[in-house]
Amino acid sequence: MSEKSKSLVGGISILGLAGLICKVVGVLYRIPLADYIGGEGLGIYSKVFPAYNVLLTVSSAGIPVAISRMVSHHITRQDPRNARRVFGVAAPTLALLGLVGTLLLLLGSGYLSARVGTPESRLGYIAIAPSVLLVCVMSAFRGYMQGHRRMMPTAISQLIEQVGKVAIALPLAVLGMRRGGPGMGAAGALLGTSIAEAAALCYMAVAHLRARKAFDGMVQQEIPPIPRRTIGARLAAISIPITLGACIVPIAGLIDSFMITQLMERGGMAESEALIRYGLYSGMVITLINVPTALAMAMSTNLVPDIASGVARGDTEYIARESRTGLRIASVVGFPCAAGMSLLAQPILYLCYAYSGRYTPEQLDVAASLLQVSALTIVLFTMVQATSGILQGCGKQRLPMYTLLAGVVCKVALNYVLIAIPSVNIHGAPIASLVCYTVSMVPNLYFVAKYAAGKMPWKDALLRPLAATLPMTAVVALLWKGIFTDRYLHLGRAKLLLAVAVCIGAGVIVYAVCAFAVKAVKAEDLPAKLRRKIKR
């Protein structure tokens, strides 16, 4: 494996590990949060995030990727001066966009809370509004660092965000719940999120200042400075399609927040029950499946500058090799995570949420059935993220935008049809998500083979990971269904934790052995220290 390829795997490892820790902390944060504010409060909390995510995505999704790609291009050509100029143009632009997003949330809080049918959520929109500005400015620093292939500052800032949520948001949620009920409790948690983002931004600013000396010492070739207007035009050309593509899923989430509860009510369900079921799906299920997708986000983040550096050198062999590596790692991560979480959906949900007394066994069983289906989207989402990163690095950022738009159109249409059916209700949402990511993934794979990989590595990207996943699936199913069984759901948290830990531990071991045996995972994918220990 080349040094650059090692850098790709290393960068994925750094961001992937940090992202995984963040998602686990996020789940652990959601457990007491759900206990404190209850199903109704969790539903209100979940209603706020779709609009916030849309504004955040519009403000900050595309430009950081463009910064990363353009900075990587200039650094590869030994042109750090123009890399700095890219940052100098992008950072104020992001700050302005973030300020506009914050003001829109503040001024539109009343309209949005009325539109989603939950007036109690107005304080939540106000509390989360500063985060749009804070994250936008922080994403400029992250994109610049990632263009230099420095992933550690991004990883640490992500950890600060999550730890801050636990340390600040939970106490504020408890205080809000005591003062004003579920609506105030959700607003307290969202205010804590804004404070945590401020702390992460302070760290990124300090990290940037500390790295400036090293950046300023880089070799500069005789390349003239690019006019700021030209840089701005290039940033727009790259970032606008990426932003539009990145907006598609948050907009779909916003549409879900408007339509899911209303569709269930149209099917005859009481308003309070519809809100609780939406809270179960968005607050529990989506939170859990977002844990392994952190690795997918890390892959996409690393693939953009990595592929862009190959494009800058005109090295088609390198682009093809790194693209195939990205696809293989996507499958290696996606298959076992999807299968394991689907199989253990019920014990995982009971372990996380059954002991607060706020959720009935019937509600947890509904959430478990949702998670069993939703978990299957992990492998699809992971592949969509990897292929999107490859195409964006190749300068084909419009393609993943179009394919994801097609998928979301299918998702919204299926939601509208399925959720209104009383016998289906909320269970139509994960089915629609499966269709959405399948519709997006299939053409993405075709375009990656056409523009980057040369040919689709079906054996490495599909057959080998699948062959390693099947024995793992059999072992986990045998342990839970044959030895522990559903009776462990009611024997106390300690015994259930032990059962889940044994199932997961056995699954990890079996998968690791099988993955190496069938060469789904290769020795060069491992950190250098671990490779040396294995050779001994």
Q: Is residue 25 part of a domain?
A: yes
Q: Is residue 373 part of a domain?
A: yes
DSSP collapsed to 3 states, 132-190 = HHHHHHHHHHHHHHHHCCCCHHHHHHHHHHHHHHHHHHHHHHHHHHHHHCHHHHHHHHH
Q: Is residue 489 part of a domain?
A: no
Q: Is residue 268 part of a domain?
A: yes
Q: Highest-confidence range of 59-73, 100-114, 148-162, by mean pLDDT?
A: 100-114
The band of 74, judged by pLDDT with boundaries at 50, 70 and 90, is: confident
Q: What is the mean pLDDT of residues 454-482?
A: 88
pLDDT at position 435 = 92
Taking the model in full, what pTM does it have? 0.69
Domain that includes residue 168, residue range: 3-212+227-456
Whole-number Å distance between alpha carbons of 296 and 242: 17
pLDDT at position 299 = 61
| % of the chain with per-residue pLDDT over 90 | 14
Q: Is residue 337 part of a domain?
A: yes
Q: What is the mean pLDDT of residues 169-191?
A: 83
pLDDT at position 81 = 86
- Sign of the CA dihedral running 518, 520, 521, 523: positive
The band of 503, judged by pLDDT with boundaries at 50, 70 and 90, is: very high
- Residue 163 is classified by DSSP as H
Whole-number Å distance between alpha carbons of 157 and 301: 15
Residue 12 has pLDDT above 70, yes or no: no
Q: Is residue 432 part of a domain?
A: yes
Whole-number Å distance between alpha carbons of 436 and 433: 5
Residue 172 has pLDDT above 60, yes or no: yes
The band of 525, judged by pLDDT with boundaries at 50, 70 and 90, is: low
How many domains does the chain divide into? 1
| Position with higher pLDDT, 210 vs 115 | 210
Residue 339 has pLDDT above 90, yes or no: yes
Q: Is residue 485 part of a domain?
A: no
Q: What is the mean pLDDT of residues 74-79?
A: 82
Residue 529 has pLDDT above 60, yes or no: no
Whole-number Å distance between alpha carbons of 513 and 37: 43
pLDDT at position 3 = 43
Q: What mean pLDDT, rounded, does the chain reach? A: 81
Q: Is residue 529 part of a domain?
A: no
Q: What is the mean pLDDT of residues 286-314?
A: 73
Residue 20 has pLDDT above 80, yes or no: no
pLDDT at position 57 = 72
pLDDT at position 8 = 46
Please state which of the ranges 174-178, 399-403, 480-484, 527-531 shows the lowest mean pLDDT. Answer: 527-531
Whole-number Å distance between alpha carbons of 503 and 508: 9
The band of 478, judged by pLDDT with boundaries at 50, 70 and 90, is: very high
